Amino acid sequence: MMTRRLLILTFILIALSCEKETVDKPVSGPTPSPLQIPKLFSNNLLDPVIPFDNPQTKEGVALGNKLFIDPILSLNNSQSCADCHLSKNAFSDSDRFSDGVEGIRGNRNSMPLFNLAWNFDEKFFWDGNTFSLEHQAFVPVTDPIEMNTTWTDVEQKLQQHPEYPTLFEQAFGTSIIDSTLVVKAIAQFERTLISSNSKFDKYLLGEVELTPEELNGFNVFMDETKGDCFHCHGNERNPLWTDNRFHNNGLDETFTDMGLGAVTGDPADNGKFKTPSLRNLQFTAPYMHDGRFTTLDEVINHYSEGLKNSNTIDPLMKKVAQGGVQLSPKDKADLKAFLLSLSDFEFINNPIFKNQ
C-alpha cells in the first residue's frame, strides 16, 4: 500500500512539474507592435484600419521596410517601391511621372504615402481601383509600366535569398514565401508611415503660435466666401486633411483620363480623382493626379481663377462660372503660408523611414 501511495505521489509531482514548465515557457512568435497613434488622431478619428489577419508586429514591419527598399521585387532587380516613393518627398516622386523598369513612364504622379491606416473606405490609387492596403501592394509588381514581373518569379527569388526565408519565419511563422505574405509585410510597414508633427499640429496642441499670415491663411481656407477649401480637405478636427473621396475639381473641360469613371463605368464619375492630403505639400510637388502644377502658387491660382466647367464638375466648385473663388494677392499668400504650416519635417527626416 505504501509503495502504491508513493508511486501516485510521484506521478502527481511529475505532472505538476510538467504543467508548470508548460505555463512558464514563453510562447514564441512575432512581437506585437501596435501603431503609435498621435494624440490629435486619437482625439478626432476612428481607430485605424488594421485587418485581423495582419496585425502589426515588430518583425513584420521590419520585413516590410526591407522589402519596400529592395529592388528584388522588380523584373531585373533594378527598381524598388522606394524609387517612386522617396522619404524626402513624403514618399512621393518629385518627377511628374515615374519611370518603370523598362524606362516607360506612367501617366499619373506618384501618390505620397502617409496616414494610410486611416483611409476608412480603403480605396487606393488616384482612381480608387484597389481595395485595401494589402491589395494595393500587389499591383506595382506585375504592372508592365512599373516593375513588370510576375509574382511567381518574385517568390522564387525571395525563397532562394540567403536572408528572406528566415525573416518570413520570424514575421509569419513560415519560411515558405508567397505573395500574400509579401504584401502583408509591406502593408504593415506602410501603416507605420504616420505624419502628425507639423507646425499646425503643434499649434493645435498649444505648443507653438502661428504667424498672423498663417492664421489668416487658415481663415481663408475655412471661409466659404473666400478659399472654401474645407469641404474636401477637412478642418482642424480632421488631421488627415483629406476626405479620401473622389472629386472633379475643375481641371479640364474634357477628359483624356477618366479617373474614377474608368473604374466604376459610370459616366457621372468621369474626371473624378482622389482628394490628396494637404499635409507635406512642401515636399510633394508636382501636384494633381497628372502632376500638371509644379508650384503651390499654381495650385492656388487654379482654384482662384482657373476652374474649368464640365458635365461632372463637383457641386463644391461653386464659383466655377466665375473661374474660381477670386482670391486677393494677400489672401493667396496667406493661404500658402497656412498650407506650408502643414509640413512635417520630423516625418521626412525620420531615420526609421529614410530611404533616400
The residues near 172 (Cβ < 8 Å, ≥ 6 apart) are: 30, 60, 181, 184, 185
Indicate the SS3 state at residue 214: helix
Indicate the SS3 state at residue 305: helix
**Whose CA is closest to 136, among 54, 66, 58?**
54
User: Is residue 85 marked as binding?
Assistant: yes
| Residues 249 and 206 sit within 8 Å (Cβ to Cβ) | no
| Residues 145 and 100 sit within 8 Å (Cβ to Cβ) | yes
| Residues 317 and 249 sit within 8 Å (Cβ to Cβ) | yes
User: Is residue 18 marked as binding?
Assistant: no
DSSP states of 126-141: TT--EESHHHHHHHHH
The residues near 199 (Cβ < 8 Å, ≥ 6 apart) are: 208, 210, 214, 341, 342, 343
CA angle 325–89–291, rounded 5-degree value:
45
**Whose CA is closest to 189, among 49, 62, 84, 355?**
62
Q: What is the distance between the alpha carbons of residues 352 and 91, in angstroms, rounded to a whole number? A: 13
The annotation places the binding site for heme c at 81, 84-85, 229, 232-233
